[in-house]
Amino acid sequence: MMFPKHKRWKSKKYRDAARDQDCTMRLPGCQNATATTVLAHENGAGMAMKADDHNGADMCSHCHAIFDRPDHWPFSWDVMEAVFERARIETIINRIERGILK
The answer regarding whether domain 12-97 maps to CATH 3.30.50.20 reads yes
C-alpha 92 chain-centroid distance? 10
Q: How confident is the model at residue 62 (pLDDT cuts 50, 70, 90)?
A: very high
Domain ranges in the chain? Answer: 12-97
State the pTM of this model: 0.87
CA angle 2, 6, 12 (to 5 degrees): 170
Confidence of residue 2 (pLDDT cuts 50, 70, 90): confident
Residues 6+ apart with CB under 8 A from 90: 24, 57, 58
Residues 4-60 have pLDDT tens digits of 777 788 889 999 999 999 999 999 999 999 999 999 998 755 555 678 888 999 999
C-alpha 81/C-alpha 76 separation (Å) is: 9
Q: Does residue 61 or residue 49 have the better pLDDT?
A: 61
Q: What is the predicted pLDDT for the residue at 46?
A: 52
Cα separation, 73 vs 95, in Å, equals 27
Tell me the C-alpha to C-alpha distance, in Å, between residue 20 and each of 45, 60, 75: 26, 9, 27
